[in-house]
Structure 1
Amino acid sequence: MVAIFYPDHDKKPRRPLHLYLDRIQRLAKMMEQTIIYAPPSLAPTLRLMRHDPHWQIIDDYETIWDIPNNSYQKHNFTHVQPTLFRQFNGHSKVKGWYPDATRDHTIRCAAYNAKAFASYDAIMRNPFGSERWFYVDAGIFDQIGPYDEDGEIWGDVIKSSLSTEKFDRSISISGDSGVVIGEYMQSPAYGVKDINHVCWRDPRKAWLCHTFIAHAYVGSSLGMLNYSVRYMATVDAMDANSWYSAREEFVIPWVAIRYPNTVFSIPWLPVPKPLWCQWQYPIKVCYTDIGGSASLPPITDPIATIFCPGYIPRKPNLEGSGLYKRTFLTDIYTVFRMYYYSTPLRWMTKEYRNRFGANRVTDWLLAL
C-alpha cells in the first residue's frame, strides 16, 4: 500500500494534525506492506507506530514542493491555477452547483499532484518486490466511520483482511495498461457529462467534469507505473492548453480519454449496512474479505460507460456480485443520489447539515 502525508501549515488547517496521525495509526494497524511518504520532522513519530521491515517511511522530501513533479510546477499551482479557477463560470447557486473553494488551495493542489509521483516512485523503489499495489487517500481511514455492529470503526474492521483474489480480479481487467480507480458518480446536473458535454470544450466550465470520487488506485506494478506516468503527462498537456489541472477529479477523466482502455473503474453504488457511512464509498470494503469471495465489485471502462456511449471496450466489463450485485433497490437509491446532487435539495441539506449536524441529515436521507 502507498500513502502520502504532508501537513497543511495554514493558520486554519483543514484538519488538525492529530486527526491525520490517527488515520496513519489505523493504516499501521492493518499490518500490510506499506510505504508512506512524509516530511523528516514527522518520520520519527510514524516509525514508532510499527516495528517491522514492512513499514517503510520515505522522508526524502522536506516539503510538498520538494517532491520532483511539484518543484517545476510550483509557479503553476501558486499563480496560474488560481487565475484559471477565478475564470470558471456557469455557476448555479440555485442548484447548489458551483466550484468548491477548497479546490483553489495551493498546498492541496500540490498534494494531489504529489500522489501521482508517490505511486511512480514507490514502484521504482519496490522494497517488497511486490507485483500488486494499492494507493489509498487518507480519507479512507477517517475518524467518522463507518462502524460495524460492535461499534468498531472501519479502519479497525479492515485490519489484515485485504483479499488477494479480489486484487487479482481487478488486475485481470486493468492488466499492465492501467489501474482500477475508486468509483465514479454521474450527476445529471447541466446534462449527462459524456464526450459532448460543454466541460470538455470550454476551459471555463472544466469544473463541471467532477466525475471520479474516493481516490484509491489498484493495479499491477507496471499498471501503476503506467498510470502515474500518464497522469503526470496529462497534467503537463492540460497546463499547456490552459486547462485547470489542480484537482484529481478534473485530470482523471482526461487520462481516460487520452489513453483509451487504460482506466477501469468501480461504479458508484451504495454500501450495505452495517458498513455504510454518509458518503457510501464502496472502495472502503471492496478489496477486503468482507462479504466473502463471492462479493466482488463491478469493474467497468469509463470510456464506454460514461464518456462515449456505444463504444466497445477492448476488455469486457465485469458485473458485481454479493454486496455489489445490482438490485432494484440499489438502482432506485442511485437515481435518488444522482438527482440529489443536481437539485436544490443538495444545497438545502448541506446548509441544514452545517447548522444541525451531519448525522441528523444522513439519518433523514436514509429513512427516505
Structure 2
Amino acid sequence: MPHAVTREASPREAVLLNHALDITPIESPLFPFPNQSKVGPTSYVPYMTMPYGHCVAEWQAKLYGLQIEDLLYQTQPFIEPIRADAPTLIAIFYPDDEPENTTRRPVEIYLERIKRLAALNEQVIIYAPPSISTLIRSLRGDKHWHVIDDFESIWDMPNNMHQKHNFTHIQPQLFAAFDRKPGVLGWEPENCYNHPHRSAVYNAKAYVTYDAVLRNPFGSEQWMYVDAGVFGEYGPRDADGGYWTEILGHQLSVQKFDRSISLSRDTGVVIGEYMQSLAYGIKDINHAAWTDPKKSWMCQHFIAGNWVGSSIGMLNYAVRFMQTVDDMDANGMYTAREEFVIPQVMIRYPNTIFSIPWKEMEWGKWEHLIKGAYLTYGGEESVPTIGDPIEGVICRGYRQRRGHLHGSGMYSWPWLKRKDVYGARYY
C-alpha cells in the first residue's frame, strides 16, 4: 500500500485552512478581488422598515451598519400559515422578452411547470410581471399562492437595474473571450449561457430570496427557493402519462428542512446539487478558474435551481451572491450565469454554501434528486447526503467542523460512485 503524498499547503489553501468559522460580513470576503466594486447590495437593495421577526430586523440593521436600539418589526404574519411550521417556497417567472429565436423554451412549457408548482398546494411566494400576474393568480385560488407583481420587467429588479448594460453588452464580449476547445467535451461553455434575459433572471433569484424573507407574509422560519425546472418534463408519470402526480401527492417535510438547517444553521444554505466535470482535471482552490477571467467558466458547477435555509441563512446567501456579482464585474469576470457565481460565493464566504451532491436517480423517476429531496415522498428517513464542497475537492486538508450528513433510503449512494464524480478526496 503506497503512502499518501504530503506537501506544504499552497497560499490559497492556507487561507481556507486557517479560516475561523465566524459569519464574514459581505465587505470582507476571504478571497477579495483586486478591484472593489463601487456598488453593492446596500447601495441598491431597499431597506425594509418593518420586516417579520426580531432576528431579521437585527440582521438587516447590521447589514446597513445601523445602530438601532429599538428595532421595528412584525410579530404576526399577514397571512395565516397553511399549517404549523410550514416552509415557504419562493419562485419567479418572467417570460423571455428577447427575440423568439433566442428563447430557450416556449412560455407554454414554463406555464405548465408553474401549474405543477401550484398543484403542490404549499405556501408559495411567486414573483411575476403585472402583465401576467392575473394569469398566474388564476392557477390557484387561495391566499397561500401569494403573487408579487411589483416589477414590470426583469430589469426593474433593484440588482438588475445597474446591470442591464453589463449583461447586454459587456458579458457577451467576456463570453466570447473564454478559453475553450470547440468540440471537446467539457472544454467549451454552453452557448445558452450567453443570454441577457436569462442572465438577469439568474441574478433576480438572489434578489427575490432576499425580498421574500423580509416580506415574509406567512411568518416562515424555513425556506426553499425553487426553479420552475424542478417540475420540468423529466419526472414520474402515472398510468395516464401525467407528469409528477406521484410527487404532487406529498407535502414538504419539516423534518427534512430541519435536517438541512441543522448543518447550514444561520450562516448559509444547502444548495442542490454539486458536481464537477473531470474533463480538465480536479478544479481545486489552486485552479486558474478562480483567478483567470478567461477560465472562470471552468469553476465548480452547481445545479443551481434550489436552495434551502433558515431566514437568516437565506438572507446571508442572497446578499453575498449579489455582492459577488458586483465584485466580479469590477474585475472583468463573466458573471451572467449562476453556476459561475455560486462557486465564488462558496470560497469567498465559507460556511455560506453546503450542498447535496449530485447522484444518478433511477431513470424515469426524475432528473435530479433535489426534486423530491424535501418532500415526504420516500419517507422521513429517505434523505440525501449533505456536505461542504470545500471539504470535498476544493481544499486539500480542509475539514468541515460541523461534519456532514449521510444519505439514506433512496438517496444512499456507494462511495465508489461518489469518487468517480468528485475525486478520491470527497468525504
TM-score (ref. length: structure 2): 0.74
The aligned counterpart of 1:326 is 413
- The letter for the 2-side match of 1:289 is T
The CA distance in 2 between the partners of 1:263 and 1:155, in whole Å, is: 31
Q: Indicate conservation of the 8 Å contact 1:26/1:156, yes or no.
A: no
Q: Indicate conservation of the 8 Å contact 1:272/1:323, yes or no.
A: no
> Does residue 137 of structure 2 align to residue 50 of structure 1?
no
Larger mean Cα displacement after TM superposition, 11-20 or 228-237: 11-20
The CA distance in 2 between the partners of 1:334 and 1:158, in whole Å, is: 33
Which residue, 389, 406, 409 being the options, matches 1:302? Answer: 389
Which residue, 45, 50, 62 being the options, matches 2:152? Answer: 62
Give the CA deviation at 1:82.
1.1
Give the CA deviation at 1:92.
4.6
The aligned counterpart of 2:95 is 7
The aligned counterpart of 1:78 is 168
- SS at the partner of 1:176? helix
Give the CA deviation at 1:90.
3.3
The CA distance in 2 between the partners of 1:188 and 1:113, in whole Å, is: 27
The aligned counterpart of 1:361 is none
RMSD: 2.0
Deviations 1:117-171 (A, max 9, x none): 0100000110000001111111111134243677442266234421110010000
The CA distance in 2 between the partners of 1:181 and 1:235, in whole Å, is: 18
Task: Give the % identical residues.
Answer: 56
Which residue, 368, 377, 393 being the options, matches 1:290? Answer: 377
Deviations 1:215-239 (A, max 9, x none): 1110001110111011101111111
> Does residue 256 of structure 2 align to residue 169 of structure 1?
no
The aligned counterpart of 2:28 is none
Larger mean Cα displacement after TM superposition, 12-21 or 281-290: 12-21
1:333-344 paired onto structure 2 within 5 Å: 335=420
- SS at the partner of 2:131? coil
Q: Indicate conservation of the 8 Å contact 2:328/2:334, yes or no.
A: yes
**1:182–1:80 Cα change, 3 Å:** same
Give the CA deviation at 1:19.
1.2
Q: Indicate conservation of the 8 Å contact 1:191/1:197, yes or no.
A: no
- SS at the partner of 1:195? coil
Larger mean Cα displacement after TM superposition, 302-311 or 130-139: 302-311
1:1-368 paired onto structure 2 within 5 Å: 1-9=89-97, 10-12=99-101, 13-95=103-185, 97-147=187-237, 151-154=241-244, 157-272=247-362, 275-276=365-366, 280-327=367-414, 331-332=416-417, 335=420
The CA distance in 1 between the partners of 2:253 and 2:363, in whole Å, is: 20
Deviations 1:183-228 (A, max 9, x none): 1112211111111112112110111115111411100011101110
Q: Indicate conservation of the 8 Å contact 1:3/1:137, yes or no.
A: yes
**1:253–1:214 Cα change, 3 Å:** closer
Deviations 1:272-302 (A, max 9, x none): 35524xxx41101111112211111110011
| Paired residues, number | 333
Q: Indicate conservation of the 8 Å contact 2:235/2:364, yes or no.
A: no
Gaps of 5+ in 2: 1-88
Deviations 1:250-273 (A, max 9, x none): 000000101112210000112235
- The letter for the 1-side match of 2:411 is Y
**1:76–1:7 Cα change, 3 Å:** same
**1:177–1:160 Cα change, 3 Å:** same
- SS at the partner of 1:65? helix
Q: Indicate conservation of the 8 Å contact 2:271/2:307, yes or no.
A: yes
The CA distance in 2 between the partners of 1:97 and 1:175, in whole Å, is: 36
Larger mean Cα displacement after TM superposition, 311-320 or 88-97: 88-97
